[in-house]
Chain A
Amino acid sequence: MTAWLNTIAQGVLVGGLYAMFAAGLSLIFGVMKLVNIAHGDLIVLAAYVALMVTDALGLNPILSLIVVVPVMATVGYLLQRGLLNRALGEDILPPLLVTFGLSVILQNGLLQLFSADSRRLQAGGLDVASVKLAEGLSLGVLPLLQFALAVLVIAGLHWLFYHTRLGRAFRAVSDDPRVAQLMGLDNRHVFGLAMALSLAIVAVAGVFLAVRTNFDPATGPARLIFGFEAVIIGGLSSLWGTLVGGILLGVVQAIGAEIDPGWQVLAGHVAFLAVLAIRPQGLLGGARR
Chain B
Amino acid sequence: MPEPPLLGVAALDAHYGDFQALFGVSLTLSRGEVAAVIGANGAGKSTLLNAIAGLIRSRHDAILFEGEPIGDLPANRIVGRGIALVPEGRRLFPSLNVEENLLIGGQIGRPGRWNLGRIYELFPVLAERRRQASTSLSGGQQQMVAIGRALMSNPALLLCDEISLGLAPIIVRDIYATLRQIVGAGTAAVVVEQDIGQALAIADRVYCLQEGRVALEGRAGEVTRADISAAYFGV
Contacts and interface: CB of A to CB of B under 8 A. Distances in A.
A contacts B directly in the complex (CB < 8 Å)? yes
Interface stretch (A52-60, A183-191, A266-274): A183-191
B95 A171 contact: yes
Interface residues of B, number: 26
Nearest to A288: B95
Interface string A160-200: 00000100110110111011111111110000000000000
A180 to B, nearest CB: 8
Nearest to B75: A181
Nearest to B79: A184
Contacts of B76: 181-187
A184 B107 contact: yes
A183 B107 contact: yes
Contacts of B96: 168, 171-172, 175
Interface residues on A, range: 10 to 19
A179 B93 CA distance: 9
Q: Which of B95, B100, B105, B107 has the most CB of A within 10 A?
A: B95
B95 A174 contact: yes
A207 B14 CA distance: 52
B107 A178 contact: no
Given A168-B100, A186-B76, A181 B91 contact: no
Contacts of B75: 181-182
Interface of B: 53-55, 74-77, 79-80, 84-85, 87, 91, 93-96, 100, 103-105, 107-108, 149-150, 153
Interface of A: 165, 168-169, 171-172, 174-176, 178-187
10 contacts: A172-B104, A175-B94, A175-B95, A176-B91, A178-B55, A181-B76, A183-B79, A184-B77, A184-B153, A185-B76
